[in-house]
Every structure is written in structure tokens, then in C-alpha cells.
Homo-oligomer: A and B are copies of this chain.
Amino acid sequence: MSKTDNHTYRLIIHCPDKVGIVAAVSQFIADHSGWLLESSYHADPDSDWFFMRNEIRASSLSLSLDEFRSQFAALAINYDMRWAIYDSMQPQRVVLLASHASHCLADLLHRWHSGELDCKIPCVISNHENLRSMVEWHDIPFKYVPVNPHNKAPAFAEMEAIIDSYHADTVVLARYMQIIPPEMCAKYKDRMINIHHSFLPSFIGANPYSKAYERGVKLVGATSHYVTGDLDEGPIIDQDVVRVGHSHSEEDLVRLGRDVEKLVLARALRNHLENRVIVHGHKTVVFE
């Protein structure tokens, strides 16, 4: 990307595949002097579905974002497009949910604080108090929402109210260990990201490192995915693994896994924030 001009628009499209889509879209962009910094596409042969991401230098366009939207709509309708255009100068508002474990939260906060992660973090919500000081050092509000194990609904209602009060675009479960109720999954569909501490679909559910240790696997991993009502079955954004061996205890697996969790969640969130991830059914297209 240009070093002197980082302001871009990201045009994201998906629709039934047919001849001429690329021509139509790129002609529209060129007709308005749009300079393409990146352009990616994918055609899924199973569903005959087309996906496209264009990153356009904002200053090159001869029309405003609103004008772009209204004029492009006419074209989009011809191709039955699902589409959106995002302004890189309008970073997303991301609410982070955490439990007791600090590693993913600390990692994301540091990336954000050092300018690597381009978003706003209006607040962090946790069902434990132990990370308050770390969060507040970053000048981010810390919301303590304890979860009553015998009646969880009030806590989730409170969390939802907080998330909505900040107009969050995205919710990240940074090792938040509670199962999210189905209605909440549905409400934040394709914009609630979880990190699961196993290489899915291995070891779905609780205690994956314990299961991995018991099974004697030679790699442990982590999976970042969009949250759906089916536990650990949501569309996968990213995964990675680390090598382990017989000399590693279950605690070692947990420790080594933490580094993979941090990295996989950060990569997934970055791609999500740059509008590089498109959900299609229960799978994702990730334009890296």
C-alpha cells in the first residue's frame, strides 16, 4: 500500500458468478478514476458464487463515498450483488470479552496500543476483575459483568446492552470462557470472533489441551472462527499449530498453545478489520 496515502475504500462484493462481473466492477471504478491498490477475487465452483475485494485509493476517486454508493447500487442490482464499501478512515469499534486468562487480551491491547491493529476499543467486558488494571492502563473502560452459573441470562442481557451502547461493529471473545446464548450468536452473526484452543474440528468443547494430552497428539493448535449457535462449528477464519512431544506435560501444552492462540486471533481479527473475510455458508473466503 502507498506509504504516503493510506486512505482507502474497500469494496466488498459477492454474488452469483457469471461472465462480466469483473469487467463491470472495474469499469465502474475506472470510470470514476479509481486507483486500485489491491484487487482479489475468488469463484467458488461448488456453489457458482463469486467473491471480490477491491481496495481503492480514496483520493483518486472523482466521486464521494455517498455518490459511489448510490451510483454503484444501480450496477449491483443487475448482478444480484451483496456488497458494501468501507472507509479505512472509519475504523471499527471492537468490544473485547475476556475471562481470567490474560494472554490474548494483553496481546490484542498491545497491538492496538502500538498502532498495529486499526480499530477503536470502546470497552473490555469480563466476568472477572483481575484484568481491570491492565485494561484501564490503556485508558479503556473495563466493565465487570459476573455470570451467575445458575442464571446466566441477566449477565448476557447486560453484556448485550453494553455492546450495543458502544455501537460495536465487532465482538471478540479473547478467551472468554462462557458459552454464548444462541440469540446473541444470531444477533452478532459474522461479526463475533472466537479463539478456540484446539485445531478444530479436533477436541470440540471444554478442556481441549487435556484431551490433546490424553490422545498423545504431536501438534497442538488454535482456531479462530465466527461464533454460531453450534459450539465450535462456526466458519473458520484462521488456524495454526505448534509441535509438541512426549516430554511436554499438559501444562506445557497450555503454555505453548497460548502463543498460537494469540497469533491466530490477532491475524484473524486483523483480516476481519481490513474487510478481508467474507463468510459463505459455514466457510470463509479470506483475501490475504
Contacts and interface: CB of A to CB of B under 8 A. Distances in A.
Interface of A: 1-3, 19-20, 22-24, 26-27, 29-31, 33-45, 60, 102-103, 106-107, 110, 113-114, 116, 133-134, 137, 199-203, 215-219, 221, 235-241, 245-247, 249, 251, 255, 258-259, 263, 266, 282-286, 288
A19 B200 contact: no
B33 A43 contact: no
A201 to B, nearest CB: 5
16 contacts: A1-B45, A3-B249, A19-B35, A20-B30, A23-B29, A37-B43, A102-B113, A133-B137, A200-B215, A201-B203, A201-B215, A215-B282, A215-B283, A216-B282, A217-B236, A241-B241
Nearest to A270: B255
A200 B22 CA distance: 38
A238 B110 CA distance: 24
A245 B240 CA distance: 13
Contacts of A34: 19
Contact of A103 (B24, B44, B110): B110
**SS of A interface (majority):** mixed
B45 A41 contact: no
Contact of A42 (B114, B199, B246): B246
B216 A241 contact: no
Contacts of A238: 218
Contacts of A107: 110
Contacts of A113: 102
A195 B146 CA distance: 41
Nearest to A247: B42
A179 to B, nearest CB: 21
- In the A-B complex, list the 9 residue pairs whose CB atoms are closest, starting with the nearest: A216-B283, A23-B30, A20-B30, A23-B26, A22-B26, A23-B27, A246-B285, A218-B239, A202-B202
B45 A36 contact: no
Contact of A3 (B45, B60, B103, B239): B45
A3 B251 contact: yes
A204 to B, nearest CB: 10
Contacts of A29: 22-23
Nearest to A33: B19
Contacts of A26: 22-23, 26-27
Contacts of A240: 219
A81 B237 CA distance: 37
Contacts of A103: 110, 114
Nearest to A24: B30
Given A42-B247, A236-B218, A30 B19 contact: yes
A13 to B, nearest CB: 13
A164 to B, nearest CB: 30
